[in-house]
């Protein structure tokens, strides 16, 4: 229920008492529900002389949501936009003290009742608490005006779009039956259909008594002469008894008319002509444009005949039901629910589980779904035939004539397909050549191979060459134009290739025990080690090795060769650094003259030192050089300038790699130039 303020609610309750609408009351009058809205156009002024009290259904609003708003004593108006532009309208109450609110919705392709649940359908609104005239105005500042006396009675002109359908809801908050005048003016949009009314199609019903006239647009139900005098059969003496608009019982407009003759019309050709009826007019559209007099449609009246199967809708892959389309509607209750009105023959046995109506309306239906006991999976032409069902009859049309036993239609079924594929591997010492093959069959005409997400082929077979190790994911999708299937296989390449690798230390001091760990991959069957120290091994995990060096530092190659059972081999060589000793010492002097002898000062042989810190000071205690990398060497310079000959103090700190003990040393060295 809409609320102004707490004070206003109390005032309304005190002043109006039980006259207030405090709960929903069902609206039964046409025009007071979205589904029975008045059709309107932009050329007429619409007078609602009184308002029936009902409604109270909450309507969501995109801006005004502090309180729930409802359709209080509503009337609904529907219209179509024929030229885009702005929508202008004015609502003028018959009583100046009446408070009217309104909201416009875009209901294109929607159930009109969706306005009660979908706030996005709202285009513009005004829920001002002020009485008197309301509507849209070019001087307004907002598309939505919310509850309260301080808000404007006018909202901005909303923009509407050609070809879309709209709904205007007018709500009477005051709860009196005083009416109003609705006038569309001030906007640039066109909501008046300029298309002239035309008779479009004429069909004859069963027995030639009823004729079904289709018009090109909606016409006013109130303009139909009930005695059928708006038409005449001018080429034969066929008296018309009545005319009624389809849906006019609960609506205001229709495009379909049922014209009933006094007596059944015999077989022949008849011409129906429009004219002014006894009500003084032909049919009128929503904007009062008349159906022109003298328009003529011809219809052939045929003798009543049974209704055959017209067609069968195209089937897909593995259909579990087949949908028949009858040439004309048949009686819904003449269809045997167990499907016994039909048989199906073809290249495979087909059992029918049942039959259901597809959208039975008015007791008649054109489409019948035959449910199968199991999906149809074998390709070929199948014949669906009519027979007498367990209900004692075949299909019966609206003229009470039965479809003959044996009436039939054919339909084409399709084979299912399989994407299963096989693969074979041909391996060499350097690559794997893999061939993937799908057997095809059952009309497969499309293949799509993908590897790790990338399309690699559109043929029944594909060949790939892999030179690296790893897991591969192959997916195949196949189709025969109707049925599809997919298959996936994950496999590993390099199943017959070997790759040599081993772990080793970067250096080895004299008498150190050195271990080598094999890290080779693939199906290795044999190992051949050559340690470069005069020893070899054929074990996967060879015994510990010892290294020595006559030179200050030697780089000794260690080689591993691994073998596959088919003779393929791979090798790797890594070098280990071997000093002639690992005793850490700092020279007592050096000569940085570039002759290649004693040119640098640094801790010698600090191979096993950890957390090393080496510093050099002058005789004044000034730090002139330092490093934490023992392989960095001091060249006797400071800031790029050579220092003079003299004695310098050094400090060395490190952690012994074998014992883990911290060592601190201090000494002097002489720089000689």
Residues 249-260 pLDDT 10s: 888 999 999 999
Label each residue of 25-49 as H, E or C: ECCCCCCCCHHHCEECCCCCEEEEE
Would you give the distance in Å from CA 465 to the centre of its chain? 38
Residue range 492-518, pLDDT digits in tens: 876 667 889 999 999 999 889 999 999
**Average pLDDT of the residues in 456-464:** 95
pLDDT at 432: 83
pLDDT at 494: 64
Asked whether the predicted pLDDT for residue 562 surpasses 70, the reply is yes
pLDDT at 493: 75
pLDDT at 305: 87
Would you give the distance in Å from CA 300 to the centre of its chain? 49
Strand stretches in 127-189, DSSP E: 134-136, 144-145, 154-155, 159-160, 165-172, 178-184
Cβ distance 357 to 370 under 8 Å? Answer: no
Residue carrying structure tokens 């999906």 = 375
C-alpha closest to that of 480 among 519, 512, 438: 438
C-alpha closest to that of 329 among 298, 368, 370, 294: 368
Asked whether the predicted pLDDT for residue 468 surpasses 90, the reply is no
Strand stretches in 523-633, DSSP E: 526-530, 536-537, 553-563, 569-579, 589-590, 609-617, 623-627
Residue range 177-209, pLDDT digits in tens: 889 999 999 999 999 998 999 999 999 887 788
**Average pLDDT of the residues in 348-371:** 94
pLDDT at 23: 60
Asked whether the predicted pLDDT for residue 22 surpasses 50, the reply is no
Residue 474, both tokens? 């192959």
pLDDT at 19: 37
**Average pLDDT of the residues in 584-592:** 95
Using the CB atoms, write b or e for 141-180: b if 16+ within 10 Å.
eebbbbbbeebbbbbbbbbbeeeebbbbbbbbbbbbebbb
Residue range 49-98, pLDDT digits in tens: 999 999 999 999 999 887 889 999 999 999 999 999 999 999 999 999 99
pLDDT at 470: 79
**Average pLDDT of the residues in 162-167:** 97
C-alpha closest to that of 440 among 421, 464, 413, 414: 421
> Rounded to whole angstroms, how far apart are CA atoms 545 and 603?
27
Cβ distance 369 to 359 under 8 Å? Answer: no
C-alpha closest to that of 155 among 122, 181, 179: 122
CB-count burial class (<10 Å; 0-12, 13-18, 19+) for 23? exposed
Cβ distance 505 to 443 under 8 Å? Answer: no
> Rounded to whole angstroms, how far apart are CA atoms 441 and 379?
12
**Average pLDDT of the residues in 519-525:** 90
Asked whether the predicted pLDDT for residue 244 surpasses 80, the reply is yes
Q: Strand order of the sheet with strand 268-274?
A: 231-233, 268-274, 296-301
Could you give all domains of the chain from N- to C-terminal order, each with its CATH number?
6-184 (2.60.120.380), 199-301 (2.60.40.1220), 309-413 (2.60.40.1220), 421-493 (2.60.40.10), 502-579 (2.60.40.10), 589-671 (2.60.40)
Q: Which residues contact 310 (CB under 8 A, 6 or more apart)?
A: 325, 326, 327, 409
Mean pLDDT of the chain: 91
> Rounded to whole angstroms, how far apart are CA atoms 74 and 70?
9
In the chain, % of residues over pLDDT 70: 96
Cβ distance 508 to 498 under 8 Å? Answer: no
pLDDT at 15: 35
Residue range 151-160, pLDDT digits in tens: 999 999 999 9
**Average pLDDT of the residues in 12-29:** 56
pTM across the whole model: 0.51
Cβ distance 520 to 500 under 8 Å? Answer: yes
Beta-ladder partners of 77 = 38, 168
Beta-ladder partners of 243 = 259
Residue 61, both tokens? 């609003």
Q: Is the model more confident about 174 or about 241?
A: 241
pLDDT at 496: 67
Residue range 141-152, pLDDT digits in tens: 999 999 878 899
Q: Which residues contact 290 (CB under 8 A, 6 or more apart)?
A: 197, 281, 282, 283, 284
Strand pairing report for 461-466 and 432-438 = antiparallel
pLDDT at 31: 93
> Rounded to whole angstroms, how far apart are CA atoms 236 and 263?
13
Strand pairing report for 134-136 and 100-106 = unpaired
What is the helix (H) or strand (E) element at residue 212, kind and residue range? strand 210-220
Asked whether the predicted pLDDT for residue 428 surpasses 50, the reply is yes
Cβ distance 101 to 134 under 8 Å? Answer: yes
Residue carrying structure tokens 């609320």 = 3
- DSSP per position, 343-400: EEESSS---EEEEEEES-BTTEEEEEEEEESS---S-EEEEEEE---TTS---BBTTS
Cβ distance 304 to 207 under 8 Å? Answer: yes
């Amino acid at each position: 229920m809409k609320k102004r303020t707490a004070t206003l609610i109390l005032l309304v309750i005190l002043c109006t008492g039980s006259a207030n609408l405090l709960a929903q009351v069902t609206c039964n009058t046409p025009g007071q529900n979205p589904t029975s809205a008045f059709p309107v156009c932009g050329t007429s002024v619409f007078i609602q002389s009184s308002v029936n009290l009902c409604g109270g259904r909450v309507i969501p609003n995109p801006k005004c949501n502090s309180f729930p708003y409802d359709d209080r004593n509503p009337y609904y108006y529907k219209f179509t936009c024929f030229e885009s532009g702005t929508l202008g309208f004015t609502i003028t109450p018959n009583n100046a003290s009446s408070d009217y609110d309104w909201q416009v919705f875009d209901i294109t392709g929607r159930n009109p009742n969706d306005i009660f649940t979908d706030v996005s359908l709202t285009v513009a609104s005004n829920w001002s608490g002020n009485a008197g005239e309301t509507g849209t105005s070019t001087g307004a500042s907002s598309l939505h005006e919310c509850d309260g006396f301080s808000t404007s009675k006018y909202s901005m002109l909303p923009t509407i779009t050609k070809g879309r359908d709209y709904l205007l809801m007018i709500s009477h908050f005051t709860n009196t039956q005083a009416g109003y005048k609705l006038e569309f003016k001030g906007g640039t949009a066109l909501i008046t259909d300029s298309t002239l009314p035309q008779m479009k199609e004429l069909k004859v019903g069963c027995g030639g008594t009823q004729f079904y006239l289709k018009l090109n647009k909606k016409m006013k139900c109130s303009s139909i002469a009930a005695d059928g005098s708006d038409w005449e059969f001018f080429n034969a003496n066929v008296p018309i008894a009545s005319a009624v608009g389809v849906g006019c019982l609960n609506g205001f407009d229709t495009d379909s008319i049922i014209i009933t003759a006094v007596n059944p019309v015999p077989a022949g050709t008849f011409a129906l002509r429009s004219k002014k009826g006894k009500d003084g007019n032909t049919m009128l559209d929503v904007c009062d444009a008349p159906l022109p007099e003298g328009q003529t449609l011809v219809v052939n009246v045929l003798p009543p005949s049974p209704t055959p199967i017209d067609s069968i809708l195209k089937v897909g892959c593995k259909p579990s039901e087949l949908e028949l389309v009858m040439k004309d509607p048949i009686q819904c209750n003449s269809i045997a629910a167990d499907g016994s009105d039909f048989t199906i023959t073809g290249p495979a046995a087909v059992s029918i589980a049942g039959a259901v109506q597809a959208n039975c309306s008015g007791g008649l239906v054109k489409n019948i779904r035959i449910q199968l006991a199991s999906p149809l999976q074998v390709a070929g032409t199948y014949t669906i035939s009519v027979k007498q069902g367990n209900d004692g009859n075949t299909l019966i049309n609206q003229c009470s004539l039965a479809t003959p036993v044996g009436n039939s239609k054919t339909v084409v079924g399709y084979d299912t397909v399989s994407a299963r594929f096989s693969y074979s591997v041909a391996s060499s010492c350097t690559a794997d050549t893999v061939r993937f093959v799908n057997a095809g069959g059952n009309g497969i005409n499309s293949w799509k191979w993908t590897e790790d997400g990338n399309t690699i082929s559109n043929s029944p077979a594909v060949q790939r060459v892999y030179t690296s190790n790893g897991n591969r994911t192959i997916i195949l999708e196949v189709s025969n134009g109707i049925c599809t299937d997919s298959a996936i296989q994950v496999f590993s390449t390099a199943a017959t290739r070997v790759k040599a690798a081993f772990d080793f230390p970067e250096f080895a001091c004299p008498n150190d025990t050195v271990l080598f760990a094999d890290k080779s991959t693939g199906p290795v069957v044999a190992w051949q080690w050559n340690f470069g120290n005069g020893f070899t091994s054929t074990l996967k995990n060879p015994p510990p090795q010892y290294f020595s060096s006559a030179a200050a530092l030697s780089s000794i190659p260690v080689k591993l060769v691994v073998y596959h059972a088919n003779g393929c081999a791979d090798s790797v060589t890594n070098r280990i650094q071997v000093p002639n000793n690992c005793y850490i010492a700092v020279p007592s002097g050096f000569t940085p003259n570039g002759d290649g002898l004693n040119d640098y000062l640094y801790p010698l042989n600090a191979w096993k030192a950890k957390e090393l810190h080496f510093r050099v000071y002058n005789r004044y205690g000034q730090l002139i050089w330092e490093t934490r990398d023992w392989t960095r060497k001091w060249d006797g310079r400071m800031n790029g300038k050579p220092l003079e000959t003299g004695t310098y103090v050094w400090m060395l700190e490190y952690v012994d790699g074998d014992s883990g003990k911290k060592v601190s040393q201090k000494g002097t060295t002489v720089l000689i130039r």
